[in-house]
């Protein structure tokens, strides 16, 4: 069975830490960092990267267009 695996890259300097991607993620991949970016925001990052399915829900709802999404199909 093919397994889908994804990954996201957050433009951490553009991110304002609004948390909408964290809420939108169906796989609980994302979280807000403890660190701050230059503007003082807790940016979003993959806390649980193995769970990412590359669905791009986070990117769709991101108001600042700071999420890039990648996806691969893996054969078992």
Partner 1 sequence: MTTNEIINPANLVHKKTDLLTDVPMHYCPGCSHGVVHKLLAEVIDEMGIQEETIGVAPVGCAVFAYNYIDIDWQQAAHGRAPAVATGIKRLLPERYVFTYQGDGDLAAIGTAETIHACNRGENIMIIFINNGIYGMTGGQMAPTTLEGMKTSTSPYGRNVELNGYPLNITKLLAELEGTCYVTRQSVHNVAGVRRAKKAIQKGFENSELKKGTSVIEIVSTCNSGWKLSPAASNDWMVKNMFPAYPLGDLKNV
Strand runs labelled E in 1-76: 2-10, 30-32, 44-46, 67-75
52/29 Cα distance (integer angstroms): 6
The binding site for partner 1 (CB under 8 A) comprises: 5-7, 9, 11, 13-14, 16-20, 23-24, 41, 46, 49, 52, 54, 56-57, 59-72, 74
* Smallest distance from partner 1 to CB 1, Å: 16
* Smallest distance from partner 1 to CB 72, Å: 5
DSSP state of 51: G
* Smallest distance from partner 1 to CB 17, Å: 6
């Amino acid at each position: 069975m093919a397994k889908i695996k994804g990954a996201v890259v957050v433009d951490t300097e553009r991110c304002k830490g609004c948390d909408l991607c964290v809420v939108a993620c169906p796989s609980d991949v994302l979280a807000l960092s403890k660190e701050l970016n230059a503007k003082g925001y807790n940016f979003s990052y993959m806390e649980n990267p193995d769970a990412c399915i590359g669905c791009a829900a986070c990117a769709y709802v991101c108001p600042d267009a700071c999420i890039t999404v990648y996806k691969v199909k893996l054969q078992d």
